[in-house]
Amino acid sequence: MLSCAKMIGIRSPFIYFIDPVRAEIVMEFIEGKNAKEMMTHDLAYRIGRYAGLLHSNNIIHGDLTTSNFIVGKKLVLLDFGLAFHSVRNEDKAVDVKLIKTILKSAYSSV
């Protein structure tokens, strides 16, 4: 799913090595701050653009929260462990509902 996201323009960590026997993944370290620590209107907009780009390509993240975005030189989306492909609007709505609930409850003043 990381590769699919990269192909549509979503910045995500580069995978260097996967060891299925040891259940290990070695990936790029992303320099920056967690989005949940620095939420602004502009950042919320950029997160929404990422969600729209994912969904327009039928990619459901599955855990679309501010904790899964790193803000550095570019916005980076992490943790595709629950991601899957779907054309169902209901699946896309679950992603949107989660991020909307988090933004509304944690950042109501932004």
Q: What is the pLDDT along the chain (110 residues), one digit of tens a residue?
A: 889 999 999 999 999 999 999 999 999 999 999 998 988 889 999 999 999 999 999 999 999 999 999 999 899 999 999 999 999 999 999 999 999 898 888 766 55
Candidate list 19, 42, 63, 79, residue with the active-site label = 63
Dihedral over alpha carbons 46, 52, 53, 57 (to 10 degrees): 170
8 A C-beta contact, residue 11 and residue 60:
no
**CATH number (domain holding residue 75):** 1.10.510.10
Q: State if pTM tops 0.85.
A: yes
- Annotated catalytic, 19? no
> In total, how many domains does the chain have?
1
| Domain that includes residue 102, residue range | 2-106
